[in-house]
Amino acid sequence: MRMLKHGCVSVFVMWAACSAASASDIYDFTITQDTYIDSRQYGSYHSQGTNFANANVDKVFVNKAASGEDVAGSPTRGLFYLPASVFSYSPSQIASATVNFYVWSDKSGNFSVSLYPMTRSWVVGTGATSADGVTWSTYDAAHLWTSPGGDFDATRSVVATKGPVFDPDYGDRYFIWDITSLLKDPIARAELQNNGAMLKVTSETPPPGGYNGDAFSSYEDPVPLNWPYVEVTVAAPEPASLLMLAAGVPLVGWFRTRAARS
């Protein structure tokens, strides 16, 4: 009778383990360090030395060309650091990972927006009148980038997928960058962990009129649901754990959870 009881418990635990092994854990981590840099420098515009860390949007634009511009099209670029929690998972543990930015009204048109790992760390700043953080010209308000507009790895990038529109009257949606391959590439992973990432219109050739790009909601947005975040799907445990159970080794169950953004 004792053997039968033990057998029933073993079958139940093995069933629970099989069910858990088929699931994956999904975690969302809020991006709390983000800003944008602006190249506009003509007429009354003097943005190249301005820090925008307190803005409630991260502007990623390229404008039509204007007479007297320092940089054709006066592009703007978003910068952000990935949450440290993302790097608590090894490359083998990550089934997928995406960066997600919300835009209230998508104006990117046919233009694409790409994500690039940065090759130099930078200071977020506070948005003070006297710049105390990253600008178009400097990475810390004092020291120049190697190239104005930020030092990034142009050989490793991913293009955004545009999510479905929530309200056709506004055109609001998420832009989603799949960074799984970057996190599994040792060089790109180190760049992302140490230096963060850049968002820029893939081709910054000025459009014939208006502008192309978007003003993505930043961590300064008053609506928390609009904050940017990284979603990580952790790979399900290997079936080999069932063999451990059969051999009498205690098994710890896994449970599908979804972490609150923190």
> Kind of pairing, strands 57-63 and 211-217?
antiparallel
- String of DSSP letters for 22-42: T--EEEEEE--EEEEEE--EE
Q: What letter would DSSP give residue 88? A: G
- For residues 36 and 23, what is the distance between their CA atoms, to the nearest angstrom? 38
What does the pLDDT read at residue 239? 63
Mean of per-residue pLDDT scores for the chain: 85
113, containing H or E segment? strand 113-117
- For residues 128 and 62, what is the distance between their CA atoms, to the nearest angstrom? 25
- For residues 199 and 195, what is the distance between their CA atoms, to the nearest angstrom? 13
Give the three-class secondary structure for 5. Answer: helix
Q: What is the mean pLDDT of residues 200-217?
A: 91
176 vs 210, residue with greater confidence: 176
What does the pLDDT read at residue 83? 98
Question: What length is written for the chain?
Answer: 262
What does the pLDDT read at residue 92? 96
Q: How confident is the model at residue 8 (pLDDT cuts 50, 70, 90)?
A: very low
4 vs 134, residue with greater confidence: 134
Q: Within a 13 Å sphere around the CA of 105, how many CA atoms are in the beta-carbon half?
A: 2
The pTM assigned to this predicted structure is: 0.83
Q: How confident is the model at residue 13 (pLDDT cuts 50, 70, 90)?
A: very low
- For residues 23 and 209, what is the distance between their CA atoms, to the nearest angstrom? 49
Q: How confident is the model at residue 209 (pLDDT cuts 50, 70, 90)?
A: confident
What does the pLDDT read at residue 246? 45
What does the pLDDT read at residue 107? 87
Q: What is the pLDDT of residues 152-173, one digit of tens each?
A: 999 999 999 999 999 999 999 9
- String of DSSP letters for 53-95: TT-SEEEEEEEPP-TT-SSTT--EEEEEEPPGGGGGS-TTTEE
Q: How confident is the model at residue 248 (pLDDT cuts 50, 70, 90)?
A: very low
Burial profile 80-108: b = 16 or more Cβ within 10 angstroms, e = fewer: bbbbeebbebeeeebebbbbbbbbbebeb
What does the pLDDT read at residue 258? 39
- For residues 79 and 98, what is the distance between their CA atoms, to the nearest angstrom? 16
Q: What is the pLDDT of residues 182-196, one digit of tens each?
A: 999 999 999 999 999
Q: Within a 13 Å sphere around the CA of 225, how many CA atoms are in the beta-carbon half?
A: 2
Q: What is the pLDDT of residues 80-102, one digit of tens each?
A: 999 999 999 999 999 999 999 99
Q: Within a 13 Å sphere around the CA of 201, how many CA atoms are in the beta-carbon half?
A: 26
Query: 219, 77 in Cβ contact below 8 A?
Result: no
**Is residue 210 over pLDDT 90?**
no
Answer positive or negative: Cα dihedral of 90, 93, 95, 99. Answer: negative
